[in-house]
């Protein structure tokens, strides 16, 4: 994940919980701009794949039980549906 919302620890943990997957957030919140530069450098042989392992990350692990996850997910779907139908 990248962008400004990555600074919101609650949101990142919630993303991990609701998707039931580990989430890694880079120190740089603008990885979408840095990523192509890394990929170009990799393609041109400027560096190897080990450069990606040196990126600092904050890791969030899922910790929500299945029943809570289902309720939260259904609530999210209802909220999205409400927004989409009020156009």
pLDDT tens, residue by residue, 7-33: 899 999 999 999 999 998 887 766 777
Using an 8 Å Cβ cutoff, are 47 and 7 in contact? no
* pTM of the full structure: 0.69
The range of the structural domain enclosing residue 54 comes to: 4-85
Q: What is the DSSP string of 46-67?
A: SS-THHHHTS-EEEE-----HH
Q: pLDDT confidence of 87, banded at 50, 70, 90?
A: low
- Quick: pLDDT tens for 48-86: 888 777 777 889 999 999 999 999 999 999 999 999 987
CB 71 within 8 A of CB 17: no
State the virtual CA torsion across 70, 74, 76, 77 in degrees, nearest 10: 140
Q: Looking at the 3D structure of the chain, how many domains does it have?
A: 1
């Amino acid at each position: 994940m990248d962008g400004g919302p990555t600074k919101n620890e609650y949101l990142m943990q919630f993303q991990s919980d609701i998707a039931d997957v580990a989430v890694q957030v880079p120190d740089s919140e603008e990885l979408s701009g840095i990523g192509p530069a890394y990929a170009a450098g990799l393609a041109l042989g400027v560096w190897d794949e080990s450069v990606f392992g040196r990126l600092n990350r904050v890791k969030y692990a899922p910790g929500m039980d299945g029943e809570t996850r289902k309720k939260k997910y259904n609530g999210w779907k209802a909220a999205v549906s409400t927004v989409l139908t009020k156009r």
